[in-house]
Amino acid sequence: MGAGVNVAWTQNPLNWAISYTSFPLFIVIPAARAFLTEGQPSVLMLGSGVLVMELGAAAKPIGFAYSSNAAMTIYNSLVFISALCHLGGVALTAWRPTKLRQAAMWLTVSYAGVTVHGKRIFRQLIHFLEFTSGNY
């Protein structure tokens, strides 16, 4: 572990898990239900964006194994992608409201894609941080 590791993250993992990973589920699950009933893409993008942010919060302690800068870079990068999801949801419905058919398929593809690509982005960021810090 790096010299600048925040000890609070390693002392109380239960507090971290409750604070950063369980509360977003109160947004992701209702957003999924609302999308399944109404089919609005803005609600789908809201849920996807919150899921990306949750992945960033879950990956942040792993980043502390490298350094506190790595942890913040990972979290901030995924929050930026989350904001792009939210912006995409607004852009999709700004001019005229649309409904997507086959809502279950869209929800499955979106949430699975967010999870797979979020994990991939996390790996790429770790590789980039190792390469730039000279620890490769």
Mind listing the pLDDT tens digit for each residue in 68-87?
777 788 788 888 988 998 89
Does any domain span residue 22?
Answer: yes
Task: Share the mean pLDDT of the chain.
Answer: 77
Whether the per-residue pLDDT at 129 is higher than 60: the answer is yes
Among residues 72, 58, 99, the alpha carbon closest in space to that of 4 is found at: 72
Print the domain residue range for 80: 7-133
Does any domain span residue 48?
Answer: yes
pLDDT band at 12 (very low <50, low <70, confident <90, very high): low
- State mean pLDDT over 47-67: 80
State how many domains the chain has. Answer: 1
115 phi and psi, to 5 degrees?
A: -65, -45
Does any domain span residue 1?
Answer: no
